[in-house]
Amino acid sequence: MGTFLADDFTLVEAPHLLAPKGSTRSRDQVLASADQTRRVVSGQRFDVRRTTCEESRVVLEADWSATLLMDLRYWDAGETIRARTTSVFEVRDGRITSQDSYDCYFNSDADAEQTGAE
């Protein structure tokens, strides 16, 4: 993943269920967190719903899911966690310089089904 991120890459996460205050992370922090994620979830899946781009900006809307390997605040190990996510990427010289992420986690499969997330 690091080869796709510019050295000055920044990730800004809007507040969501798992990070009520949101967060801002550097490239190094994002890469370290990606390694940690492998201990929290398995079988991550992104189903792209829509994309668009304008000049150096790319917007991606997707349904994300994964199986939990440990208990989290609203879910137990073994459950499938789901979210609708929209990310806005800025690209320079073929590398991603920033990502603004807007994640909406579902509390249950019924919530996901109501929005068309599978």
Domain at 2-114, CATH from 3.40.50.300, 3.40.50.2020, 3.40.50.720, 3.10.450.50: 3.10.450.50
User: Phi and psi of 89, rounded to 5°?
Assistant: -110, 140
Name the amino acid, one letter, at 71.
Answer: D
Task: State the Cα–Cα distance between residues 99 and 24, nearest whole angstrom.
Answer: 10
Helix (H), strand (E) at residue 40: helix 27-40
What average pLDDT values come out for the chain (118 residues) when binned by 10 residues?
94 94 96 90 97 98 97 93 97 97 82 56
